[in-house]
Structure 1
């Protein structure tokens, strides 16, 4: 494949670098382990994680796509329809002016905080969990952020699944309770077996998806020019939608719940090719567009959702507010202005189903990996991700059956405080502690043995900013400051990491400064080295950034090297190097 980047997953058993089964590889015969190594955990974790590199560094041997292809693929993952619901929901509550300003405030914050994360992912080819470990959290400290990201995936899985169930009920008459189950169960076989098929599905359905969304909006504006004036004059359901800073911040708080989307964008950006003088401009363009640039399109979708809803309320049925936040009703209302009802219903259902499948397979997969990564790190046992696929989907189904649309703003507003505390803390550590104060190591570190278990700089900063902002969100400090909970989360996450880094003098970032390998980590252009070393536990070769010296010498006292993956499942700790005192 040379013309498209697959999503961060491929068929089970496929070795992406070599195109052969891991179990059949000459370098990894069945049962090839060091004596006494945890056979099942190492072999299964190796087999599954080699499929997608989500749990570890993405090697250069796999990254064969150009910057433009990577950016295009990354943006293909934002096909979700929840933005239309979010825009409509905050607009109906606060009015158009406040909603649009809130959307803009959130977009600026998300873009600014997402840029350093996107750069680190693309430059060093690691996902956000691995970035977080070395950016103030420590090897085990970042487990809590994995849980925050997993929460993001099942919340938005539930949102998209609910939207699909609404479409099934409207067009096919299937009760929503059954539709929730259908939208959940249909994803399971795709997550396990259909990732190559999904990659093709996303590429081929994107033009249709764009046509179904963009053309109705253009038709609406051209045939109903007065709808633009009506849109900007809309005051919300209460009729008291005058410009208000508190309303703007409440709207922004809901939109900021999408801040964790940068983690899914990074799942693609870590496959960026090495940055060189020749591709510098294209490389940076791809990083910006495929990384924080997603929020530009997200903000446009939120504004579009509100625009269509205002038009529906004004032109069709003022009593339609009960379903005005549901994308299937939004698009159906516009389609019916353009074509017969039967065709409008068909196209609305196609749009909803295609959008839900395009994003929810990613949500289910990414969420299961986040849970698996955390569980494996804590227990040193790899249970297989299927267990956590079911776990993640079960939580999402409970949210759907509880009719989360009735309290959408509350769920997203609460979650936004946690997401902001995490993402802003990591972004601050990169921008301030690494580049300005130089107390945090500039090159990211994620390997067990190189990091302390917990680094108070990021871990404490996140807990403090999230805790205070959640208390503000629930009114602990009075109604006057309640709308400003996002600002507390952002402000504390900006201030605390530098203060704690100075107070601790950066001593808790690295447990060791030497990984025991006498080979440079980076090439002449500053890109991760592609030199390969053999892991003595798994019997596979890994690139230099993924390896370190094993604490267990060979039979004749020679040095042996071990991959970060094998270290993660080492229950005995016998391969972990001792801490360095200086």
Structure 2
């Protein structure tokens, strides 16, 4: 079904005094709740293509170019490979859960070891990912505007921020159209210069592979891990992929192959496309170093103009390079702004029990991004990303381990994801303790507190500690803190016979709107209540009591 055929969903009124006129749920894209079957009318292929359109960013080129210039091509390629393996393995269970159960990564995190309020910490980690990478892409666009139009960087930063606002207002429906329409042009502009160099100057390949970087020290494990740390900052991208994948249609026998193909390619499989772009970034940087000098090698606008000048008339070089940079920035930054607004809204609503609407936090996220750009974060990009990646890895590996090990192998964590208030404990020590131990330990290593010899290995510390601590904490707590209640008070199961979330509608006793079974639970005041009304219930009137001691285990 085409994007335009997706039905407009009802516009639920927020509970209590917050009821009143507000934008339809289509604009909000089910910010704090399960994405219902009635809204998910796109085919697996459309959802997958839209998700892959969101990885059109050019930060890959800059990150990998920085690693390659510093440590050489072979070390850079090994760094890219190490990061890609970790990102794929950890992203697979997360993508499956998001697509199968139609919830975003924050909702997954709540029931995967963190608890209802505990996952606020990781929501802020993800929000940081979105504005850091928004600032990265905005900086790249500003460099393009300076190169082509001679705009001062500070004006370019402002333009690259403001242009996103009207594009991100309309949520998934508009984003899917934007990604689908622009993918072909973007692919041609990215691939053409690479193909040109390979055909006309094949010697560039051998020069690229023999490039040793500033280090001039050959293959080095320490250099590989330093580079992998920067590349692993992209591990949080799986959250943005899931923001698309949660709109996958139910998996059936008829669409099983297409469903799995889309989930694998657009979920963890994004990293294969990302790794290819990173390798191209190193290739282009080495070429630019030989052609125009190393000062501009990490800037994508310089990388592509350096090649465009060899393959087309001079009058066409700058316009095409600018189109590529602007197109890439817009494609990814609408996703950064959208996903960041979801993360901020999730955190704010849980803490304050007030739902201001997603669009408020679009502006908040853009403001943080603009501050980073104006602070010239691009000049210390790889250092910033290497530091940030420790927190991102700790979060993603902890959640992936809880799903893969605690849920399926040890069976200490409930398999069916839970995200609703009242069903979860406020904090689950399994995920939160593992996350803090992993992130703080790897950050300490990163800053050299345990000696310079192991400093480059902070990514391995982040992955290893989360991988070990998560099941150990589940054993230590015997899974007691996953579920506050096992029964949500509604007789119908949350999934149908095929294991897909049920599409049966129920009417919320507070807002009077219909929502599907997975989003509903019984109210202590009578009737049933939707998850958002319960989240904003400040009195606790509708909150069901906890199970008696000994019954709330997984």
Which TM-score band (shorter chain)?
Answer: over 0.9
Is 1:418 paired with 2:395?
no
Q: The residue matched to 1:215 in structure 2 has which SS?
A: helix
Report matched runs for 1:73-472 at 5 Å. Answer: 73-192=50-169, 196-238=173-215, 240-314=216-290, 316-317=291-292, 320-472=293-445
Q: The residue matched to 1:65 in structure 2 has which SS?
A: coil
Q: The residue matched to 1:305 in structure 2 has which SS?
A: helix
Shift of 1:186: 1.5
Tell me how far apart the structure 2 counterparts of residues 468 and 70 of structure 1 sit (CA, whole Å). Answer: 38
Shift of 1:282: 2.2
> Does the Cα contact within 8 Å between 1:46 and 1:565 map onto a contact in 2?
no
Tell me how far apart the structure 1 counterparts of residues 47 and 176 of structure 2 sit (CA, whole Å). Answer: 13
Please list the CA deviations of residues 441-488 of structure 1 after superposition, one character each: whole Å capped at 9, or x if unmatched: 010000000000000000110011000000100111000000000000
* Structure 2 counterpart of 1:526: 499
> Does the Cα contact within 8 Å between 1:5 and 1:65 map onto a contact in 2?
no
Tell me how far apart the structure 2 counterparts of residues 20 and 299 of structure 1 sit (CA, whole Å). Answer: 37
Shift of 1:5: 8.4
Shift of 1:49: 7.2
> Does the Cα contact within 8 Å between 1:57 and 1:125 map onto a contact in 2?
yes
Report matched runs for 1:67-78 at 5 Å. Answer: 67-78=44-55
Tell me how far apart the structure 2 counterparts of residues 110 and 343 of structure 1 sit (CA, whole Å). Answer: 38
Report matched runs for 1:503-514 at 5 Å. Answer: 503-514=476-487
Tell me how far apart the structure 2 counterparts of residues 424 and 193 of structure 1 sit (CA, whole Å). Answer: 32
* Structure 2 counterpart of 1:39: 17
* Structure 1 counterpart of 2:452: 479
Q: The residue matched to 1:533 in structure 2 has which SS?
A: strand
Tell me how far apart the structure 2 counterparts of residues 526 and 194 of structure 1 sit (CA, whole Å). Answer: 28
Please list the CA deviations of residues 49-72 of structure 1 after superposition, one character each: whole Å capped at 9, or x if unmatched: 774123210111111222222212
Q: The residue matched to 1:525 in structure 2 has which SS?
A: coil
Q: The residue matched to 1:476 in structure 2 has which SS?
A: coil
* Structure 1 counterpart of 2:531: 564
> Does the Cα contact within 8 Å between 2:3 and 2:177 map onto a contact in 1?
no
Tell me how far apart the structure 1 counterparts of residues 309 and 70 of structure 2 sit (CA, whole Å). Answer: 26
Tell me how far apart the structure 1 counterparts of residues 175 and 535 of structure 2 sit (CA, whole Å). Answer: 30
Q: For structure 1, which runs of at least 5 residues remain unmatched after alignment? A: 7-15, 23-27, 554-559
Q: The residue matched to 1:548 in structure 2 has which SS?
A: strand
Q: The residue matched to 1:562 in structure 2 has which SS?
A: strand
TM-score, length of structure 2 as denominator length: 0.96
Tell me how far apart the structure 1 counterparts of residues 174 and 315 of structure 2 sit (CA, whole Å). Answer: 30
> Does the Cα contact within 8 Å between 2:505 and 2:517 map onto a contact in 1?
yes
Shift of 1:4: 4.2
Shift of 1:536: 0.7
Q: The residue matched to 1:242 in structure 2 has which SS?
A: coil
Shift of 1:577: 0.3
> Does the Cα contact within 8 Å between 2:505 and 2:515 map onto a contact in 1?
yes
Please list the CA deviations of residues 505-561 of structure 1 after superposition, one character each: whole Å capped at 9, or x if unmatched: 0000000000000112111111111111110111111111100000102xxxxxx00
Tell me how far apart the structure 2 counterparts of residues 525 and 377 of structure 1 sit (CA, whole Å). Answer: 32
Tell me how far apart the structure 2 counterparts of residues 529 and 326 of structure 1 sit (CA, whole Å). Answer: 49
Tell me how far apart the structure 1 counterparts of residues 450 and 426 of structure 2 sit (CA, whole Å). Answer: 34
Shift of 1:403: 1.3
Please list the CA deviations of residues 555-576 of structure 1 after superposition, one character each: whole Å capped at 9, or x if unmatched: xxxxx00000111111111111
Q: The residue matched to 1:542 in structure 2 has which SS?
A: strand
Tell me how far apart the structure 1 counterparts of residues 464 and 221 of structure 2 sit (CA, whole Å). Answer: 17
Is 1:488 paired with 2:461?
yes
Tell me how far apart the structure 1 counterparts of residues 447 and 393 of structure 2 sit (CA, whole Å). Answer: 16
> Does the Cα contact within 8 Å between 2:72 and 2:211 map onto a contact in 1?
yes
Please list the CA deviations of residues 182-212 of structure 1 after superposition, one character each: whole Å capped at 9, or x if unmatched: 1111212222358755543322221111111
Number of matched pairs: 549
Tell me how far apart the structure 1 counterparts of residues 169 and 195 of structure 2 sit (CA, whole Å). Answer: 39
Is 1:3 paired with 2:2?
yes
Tell me how far apart the structure 2 counterparts of residues 468 and 265 of structure 1 sit (CA, whole Å). Answer: 28
Shift of 1:45: 8.0
Tell me how far apart the structure 2 counterparts of residues 454 and 50 of structure 1 sit (CA, whole Å). Answer: 31
Shift of 1:279: 2.5
> Does the Cα contact within 8 Å between 1:125 and 1:270 map onto a contact in 2?
yes
